[in-house]
């Protein structure tokens, strides 16, 4: 089955710790994205990547970091610098970024900071 | 920056009723997408629109790309319990690298 997987589904972290969220896709998509969703809110873009070894900041990149070493993988690290990291994190992918940017989402990871 | 206004924010309807929601933009978009999100899950793409005036159906769902290219509408006919969830619109302007998302419409259905 083609799709996007995110792991883990639930993640707990102590304040001051970095944590890495996994995102893998087997859709052969070039572009990948990370969004943050807070309760009752829409989606806010954290980072995106058009191709391997390249990524750009989204609207709320502070306190987050990413890497894109493989086409299939786009992990997100939530650093201790992120002041309010408790949220639902969504990964998405699309064929490209400029046209026909139909983004397909993974199931999400809910991060809770204790 | 670009903003999307999605309305209504929430809807409470009876099973079997038709539903209508819309999104308006402050700028022209070349792409409109509609998603549905169930609680605790990722959004699922329902309909994609690429041409002004385009009307596209997916089962009981119908979406339209507004003629002005600044709005889009989603209609659901004969609602059923599994239609419950949050519906998001998203748009992309020509040359833009990012989608802009609406705040969502929460649909609740009374059986």
| % of residues, chain A, pLDDT over 90 | 82
> How far, in whole angstroms, is CA B20 from its chain's centroid?
9
Q: What is the mean pLDDT of chain A?
A: 93
Residue of A93, A102, A104, A108 best to disrupt the B interface, most CBs of B under 10 A: A102
Q: What is the mean pLDDT of chain B?
A: 94
How far CA B86 is from CA of A39, B21, B54, B62, in Å, comes to 12, 11, 23, 16
Q: Tokens in use for A82? A: 């992120």
Classified as helix, coil or strand, B52 is coil
**pLDDT tens-place string over residues A35-44:** 999 987 889 9
Name every chain A residue with its beta carbon within 8 A of the beta carbon of B95.
Answer: 98
What's residue B1's pLDDT?
A: 53
Provide long-range contacts, Cβ within 8 A and 24+ apart, for B76-80: B76/B18, B76/B19, B76/B20, B76/B107, B77/B18, B78/B16, B78/B17, B78/B18, B79/B13, B79/B15, B79/B16, B79/B17, B79/B18, B79/B19, B79/B107, B79/B109, B80/B15, B80/B16, B80/B109
- One pLDDT digit (tens) per residue for chain A, 114 residues: 669 999 999 999 999 899 999 999 999 999 999 999 998 788 999 999 999 999 999 999 999 999 999 999 999 999 988 889 999 999 999 987 776 689 999 999 999 998
What's residue A53's pLDDT?
A: 95
Strands B71-76, B85-92: pairing kind: unpaired
What's residue B83's pLDDT?
A: 97
| % of residues, chain B, pLDDT over 70 | 98
Contacts for A84 with CB less than 8 Å, ≥ 6 apart: none
Name every chain A residue with its beta carbon within 8 A of the beta carbon of B105.
Answer: none
Put simply, the answer to whether A103 touches B48 (Cβ < 8 Å) is: no
**Cα(B66)–Cα(A97) distance, integer angstroms:** 22
């Amino acid at each position: 089955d083609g799709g996007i997987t995110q792991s883990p589904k639930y993640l707990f972290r102590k304040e001051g710790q970095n944590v890495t969220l996994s995102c893998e896709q087997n859709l052969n998509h070039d572009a990948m994205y990370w969004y943050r969703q807070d309760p009752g809110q829409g989606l806010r873009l954290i980072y995106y990547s058009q191709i391997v070894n390249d990524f750009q900041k989204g609207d709320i990149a502070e306190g987050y970091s990413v890497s894109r070493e493989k086409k299939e993988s786009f992990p997100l690290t939530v650093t201790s610098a992120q002041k309010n990291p408790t949220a639902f994190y969504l990964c998405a992918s699309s064929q490209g970024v400029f046209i026909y940017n139909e983004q397909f989402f993974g199931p999400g990871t809910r991060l809770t900071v204790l | 920056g670009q903003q999307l206004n999605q309305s209504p924010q929430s809807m409470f309807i009876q099973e079997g009723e038709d539903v209508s929601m819309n999104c308006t933009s402050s700028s022209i978009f070349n792409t409109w997408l509609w998603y549905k999100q169930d609680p605790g899950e990722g959004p699922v793409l329902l309909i994609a629109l690429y041409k002004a005036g385009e009307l596209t159906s997916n089962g009981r769902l119908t979406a339209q790309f507004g003629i002005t290219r600044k709005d889009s509408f989603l209609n659901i006919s004969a609602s059923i319990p599994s239609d419950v969830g949050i519906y998001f619109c998203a748009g992309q302007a020509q040359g833009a690298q990012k989608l802009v998302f609406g705040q969502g419409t929460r649909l609740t259905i009374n059986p």
